[in-house]
Each structure stands twice: as structure tokens, then as C-alpha cells.
Copies of this chain bind each other. A is one copy, B any other.
Amino acid sequence: MVQYDSTVDRAFAALADPTRRAVLERLGGGSATIGELAEPFGMSLTGMKKHVRLLEDANLVVTEKIGRSRRCKLVPYSFEGISTWLQRLDRFAQVVERTKGAR
């Protein structure tokens, strides 16, 4: 059951951007520095840092400063709760659809 707190708000808001979703997909293949994440988008480090900060605030990504670069990785189990909640909603939607007219 998803709690209606600001972490969930932040998670969904962070996911509402195609660049951030692409960053998450990239991190699904392994950790990466901000520079490595920025490069395929032709984006500045500053621009990518802002995206990563939003993912971090939503607890979907953690970062670690290593030397002069910052390495990012996904937070395991952070997507599970909202995914399960969405699945449950979909099942309910299907049940409501099948029983319509019976109200």
C-alpha cells in the first residue's frame, strides 16, 4: 500500500520526465557518473546534476562522490511499492469494467 506522503509525490513527479526515465533505464545497466549520464543527451553536467538531484530527492537514485566525479546508481526496491500499487489499481479497473451495469 502506497503511503500518501511527499516521497511518493516526489517519486511520481521525478518519473514524469523522459530524460529522467532514460537516466533510470541507463542506470538499470549499472552505475554511472554524472558525466557518463550527461554525454548521450549532449547535456551539460549542471543540467544532468539537476535531474539526478530530483531522482535522489525521490529516493530512486543514490550518488557517491568518488574523487572528482559523482557515481549514481538505482536504489533497489524503491520502485516496488508504487509498481505493486499500480498493478493493484489495474486489477480493480478490470474488475469494475467486467461488473459494470451491475451497479
Contact = CB atoms under 8 A, between A and B. Distances in A.
A74 B86 contact: no
Interface residues of A, number: 46
A90 B78 contact: yes
Contact of A87 (B15, B75, B83, B100): B83
A28 B15 CA distance: 23
B82 A86 contact: yes
Question: Main SS of chain A's interface residues?
Answer: helix
Oligomer copy total:
2
A13 B54 CA distance: 14
A74 B100 CA distance: 12
Contacts of A88: 28
A21 interface: yes
B73 A90 contact: no
Contact of A9 (B8, B17, B73, B96): B17
Interface of A: 2, 4-5, 8-13, 15-18, 21-22, 24-25, 27-31, 73-80, 82-84, 86-90, 92-94, 96-97, 99-100, 103
